[in-house]
Every structure is written in C-alpha cells, then in structure tokens.
C-alpha cells in the first residue's frame, strides 16, 4: 500500500461519515467508498472547461477530466472543498453550487481504484486560468455536444458524472417548465377576471391584449412558489399573484409609451396597435385591477401597502432610467436633470427600483400572506431583490447580444434609445480605449435618428470588450446571493424549485 499525506473521508452508501482513512488504503484493491467532488465550469458561451490530468498523477495520468476534481478534507463541505481546490489547480475560485451526487467504482490498471461518493459542483467562469503544472497538463473550453466518451481518453468519473449532471439538469428544466405552465393555467383566468370586471364587453378584447400577448408569468410564479415554501394556502395568494402580474404589465404599457417601443414579445405594443389614448386608459384599468387583486388576499391592508410601495419604487426607477438617456427629449425637467455620466452604482440604484422591486414585492406578498416570521420575510425579500437584479442584467445582455426572433424585441434597442442604463454599455465604455469609447459615445449621443447601421457599429465596438462575460459574472453573483437567502429558509421541494428558477432567469434566451 502506498502511503499518502492525505486522509480521505470514508462514508457509507447514504454518505454518512464513518471515519478518516489514508488515501493509499482507500485506493487499494476495489477501493473503500470515500467522499470526492467533480466540478463543471461553464462560460457565457455555454462551453465546458475540461483539463488533462498531469503526468504525475498515480491514477489516470494524462486522461481528460472535468474542470476540477478532488476530495474534501475533514470537516469541509463539498462546496468549500471545491472552491479551495479550484484555486490550487487553476489559480482562481468561483462560487459553486452542488446539484447532486453519484457513486462509482473504477480500477486503473494494477495501480489502484477509485470508489467514490462524488458530489457534482457547478459554476461559471470567463476569465484567465493559471494552471498548476503538477496537477494539470492541459486545459481547454469545449462545446458539451462535442464530447465523445466512446473515443479518446476520459477519466471514468468524468464520463459518469457528466451524464448524471445532464440528467439532473434536464430534470430541473422540466420541473421549472412544468411549474410555469401550471402557473399559466391557474393565473390566467384570474387575470382575465380582474381585468374585465366593470368593463363594457365591447372593450374586453382590447383590455386583454397586453396581458395575453405572452410572458412567462414569473412574478405569479414567485408568489406561489414562495407561499408554498412557507406552507401558505394558494387561495390566500392567487389574487394578489395575478395582481402583481397586472401591476407589472401596467408598467410595461407606460414604459413602451415613454420609449416609443413598437414591438414587445414579437407583437405590436399597446400604444402602437391601439393608439396612445387607448393605451393610457388600459394602463389605468390594469392598475385598478392589480389593487383589486391585492384586496382579495389574506391580509389586504398589508398587501395593498406592498403593492403601493412597489409601484412608487418602480416609478422612481423609471424616472432614473429616463434621466440616464442621452437623448434629445424636449421635457424641460429631463433636459435640466439628465445624467451626463452614469456609473455602476447609479445603474444598480435604477434597476433595483425599476426591475427588482416587483420581484421583491412578489416574495414579500407570499411571506405576509403565509404567516412567515419577520426574519423569513426579510430573507424572501432578499431572494426576490437578487432574483430581479440577475433578471435585469440578463435582459441587458440579451438586448445587445440576443437573437431578435427569440428575444422578441429589437436587438440594440437600448442603444437606439441612447440608454446608459444598460450594464453592457457601461462595462464596454469602461473597457474601451479612448478612441473607441468616443465612437460609442458619439453614437449614443447622436442627434437625430440612430439607424440600424449605427446600432451595428455600436455592437461591433462593444464586442471588442469582455462586457458580456463581465455582466454574466455580475448576474451570477446576484444568483448566489439569492441562493444564500434560500439556505436559511425551509428546505423542501419548493426551495429547490426557487433555486432552479433563479438559474433559469440567467440562462434564458428570451
């Protein structure tokens, strides 16, 4: 038996700790079951980082493996161990999420065996890599679809672990999709009921237009998922959940009028289809309907206050967004108070109000109506805020780098509207050399119409930078903050769904 300095955590098949044992003994014969982890890192292109194991490795030297793998130390969690080992092997560390475990046993020639309870850890990374040559012979980013485990030299845990990761990922995506579809079926009749109440039948089709042109119903989904998490009753939150969706849509109607947007969700916007006067009337009905939804909750006074505060906060954010524009709006107040420069602090102040406050209100509404404690409501709000921030950053990325047919809105619209309230634009301006920076600013501050040629030139300049990767990292940080709030809330299937839901918002393409 070869003796190592390292001792491993020996466990049973239920991952219960039995004892510490020398690594050499753990790898003798068929091996003794012990803890390990496999890390899978993806970049913003969806590529997977893989590494070729160093020639100095005793088991499977010079075989291709996943991003990083090793063993936890005594008293160390799988995630803590993974984040530590990344630094040792690849020169960096990122937040990791454990998505599952698998058990495998494999023998390497006559040298030894691995018999492991292996945790699957997932993260995102886009920056520099400085590998440790004693651990890593080579590394590269690959498209997962290009991996052919029937050919080439791949470590056995990589082959089994990645298949298990894909199975878990597919299952989680189906769970989120099924949940959102279920929400759609439950919430749409309530939305329709609220919208059409006290409205002449001749106007029903017009009134319904905005709410039923699409949308993922993420806000009602947050309300119902958080309520279920806290063991609330659906009947207590179904109407306020619909009300928050209507509150959101009322802000979209106004937003499209302010921005003169002609397309949303691949369809004409309300003002463009029916005219501004009808759009303004519809916006008022949506607001009235949303507050009616709040009044039909378990705690109407508290819920109505949440709605009111959220709406006022959104208005604050909308006004900031307008002031961030470098346009020639004739509004006297805007001309006098327009921001000449916008930094990331300004940006966060704006999106936390305009975008994230409604997600926060959804989670708070669920908590208030499900007997959650003050501390639990605070954690729900924290989750919602970070959910909303991650959502908006992803929206900003898609505005510049998305596919128009999928995204449902014109690509580069924030450039056309001369917005400095887009994280991609801000990060690009920060990174570009002075000459290119001035070119981009010239387009954004251009008098007259910014045409498609201008937009394409601006996007070409932006693509010279790593703004997309940096924005992705910022979104990931908010995702991790949201998940940290979930860690202190009840651990049940709804907790897992909320974790999957926040992953979904940063991975979506529309």
Per-domain boundaries in the chain? 7-149, 170-507
Query: What local confidence, expressed as pLDDT, does residue 45 receive?
Result: 82
Cα distance between residue 291 and residue 308, in whole Å: 9
Q: How is domain 170-507 classified at the architecture level of CATH?
A: Orthogonal Bundle (1.10)
Distances (CA, A) of 333 to 276, 320, 342, 414, 462: 22, 12, 18, 21, 31
Short-list 196, 190, 187, 188, CA closest to 285:
196
| pLDDT tens over the chain, length 510 residues | 577 889 999 999 999 999 999 999 999 999 999 999 999 999 878 899 999 999 999 999 999 999 999 999 999 999 999 999 999 999 999 888 899 999 999 999 999 999 999 999 999 898 899 999 999 999 999 999 999 998 889 999 999 999 999 999 999 999 999 999 999 999 999 999 999 999 999 999 999 999 999 888 999 999 999 999 999 999 999 999 999 999 999 999 999 998 888 888 889 999 999 999 999 999 999 999 999 999 999 999 999 999 999 999 999 999 999 999 987 677 889 889 999 999 999 999 999 999 999 999 999 999 999 989 999 999 999 999 999 999 999 999 999 998 877 666 778 999 998 999 999 999 999 999 999 999 999 999 988 889 999 999 999 999 999 999 899 889 989 998 999 999 999 999 999 999 999 999 988 877
Query: What local confidence, expressed as pLDDT, does residue 145 receive?
Result: 92
Cα distance between residue 347 and residue 29, in whole Å: 59
Q: Which two tokens stand for residue 372?
A: 């959650």
> What CATH fold (topology level) applies to the domain 7-149?
Nucleoside Triphosphate Pyrophosphohydrolase (3.90.79)
Query: What local confidence, expressed as pLDDT, does residue 328 receive?
Result: 67
Helix, strand, coil percent values for the chain (each to nearest 5): 55, 15, 30
- CA dihedral 472→477→480→481, nearest 10 degrees, is -140
Query: What local confidence, expressed as pLDDT, does residue 1 receive?
Result: 58
| Residue 242: CA count within 13 A, CB half-sphere | 27
Residues 6+ apart with CB under 8 A from 374: none
Q: Which two tokens stand for residue 178?
A: 């099924």
Query: What local confidence, expressed as pLDDT, does residue 263 receive?
Result: 84
Type and span of the H or E element at 472: helix 467-487
Residues 6+ apart with CB under 8 A from 247: 286, 287, 290, 307, 310, 311, 358
Query: What local confidence, expressed as pLDDT, does residue 193 receive?
Result: 97
């Amino acid at each position: 038996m070869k003796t190592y300095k390292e001792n491993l955590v020996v466990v049973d098949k239920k991952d219960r700790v039995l004892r510490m044992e020398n690594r050499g003994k753990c790898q003798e014969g068929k091996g003794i079951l012990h803890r390990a982890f496999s890390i899978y890192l993806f970049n913003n292109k969806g590529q997977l980082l893989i590494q070729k194991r160093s020639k100095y490795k005793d088991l499977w030297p010079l075989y291709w493996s996943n991003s990083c793998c090793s063993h936890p130390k005594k008293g160390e969690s799988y995630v803590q161990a993974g984040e530590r080992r990344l630094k040792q092997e690849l020169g960096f560390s990122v937040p990791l999420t454990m998505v599952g475990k698998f058990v495998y046993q494999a023998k390497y020639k006559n040298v030894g065996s691995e018999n492991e309870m292996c945790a699957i850890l997932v993260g995102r990374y886009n920056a520099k890599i400085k590998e440790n040559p004693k651990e890593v012979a080579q590394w590269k980013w690959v498209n997962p679809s290009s991996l052919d485990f029937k050919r080439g030299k791949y470590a056995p845990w990589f082959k089994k672990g990645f298949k298990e990761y894909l199975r878990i990922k597919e299952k989680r995506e189906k769970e989120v999709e099924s949940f959102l579809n279920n929400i759609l079926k439950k919430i749409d009749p309530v939305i329709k009921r609220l919208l059409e109440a006290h409205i002449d039948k001749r106007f029903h089709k017009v009134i319904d237009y905005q709410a039923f042109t699409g949308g993922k119903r993420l806000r009602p989904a947050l309300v119902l998922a958080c309520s279920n998490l806290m063991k609330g009753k659906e009947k207590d939150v179904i109407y306020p959940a619909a009300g928050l969706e209507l509150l959101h849509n009322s802000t979209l109607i106004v937003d499209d009028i302010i921005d003169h947007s002609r397309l949303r969700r691949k369809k004409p916007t309300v003002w463009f289809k029916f005219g501004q006067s009808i759009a303004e009337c519809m916006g008022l009905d949506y607001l009235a309907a949303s507050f009616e939804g709040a009044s039909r909750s378990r705690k109407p006074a508290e819920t109505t206050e949440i709605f009111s505060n959220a709406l006022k906060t959104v208005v604050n954010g909308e006004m900031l967004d307008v002031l961030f524009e470098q346009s020639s709006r004739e509004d006297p107040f805007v001309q006098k108070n327009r921001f000449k420069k916008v930094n990331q602090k300004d940006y966060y102040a704006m999106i936390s109000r305009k975008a994230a406050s409604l997600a926060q209100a959804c989670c708070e509404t669920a908590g208030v109506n499900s007997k959650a404690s003050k501390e639990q409501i605070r954690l729900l709000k924290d989750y919602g805020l970070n959910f909303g921030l991650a959502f908006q950053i992803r929206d900003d990325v898609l505005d510049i780098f998305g596919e128009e047919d999928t995204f449902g809105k014109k690509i580069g619209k924030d450039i056309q509207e001369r917005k400095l309230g887009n994280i991609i634009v801000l990060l690009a301006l920060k990174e570009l050399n002075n000459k290119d920076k001035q070119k981009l600013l010239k387009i954004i501050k251009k008098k007259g119409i910014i045409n498609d040629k201008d937009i394409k030139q601006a996007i070409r300049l932006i693509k010279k930078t790593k703004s997309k990767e940096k924005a992705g990292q910022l979104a990931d940080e908010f995702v991790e903050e949201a998940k940290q709030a979930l860690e202190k809330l009840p651990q049940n299937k709804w907790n897992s769904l909320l974790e999957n839901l926040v992953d979904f918002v940063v991975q979506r393409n529309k």
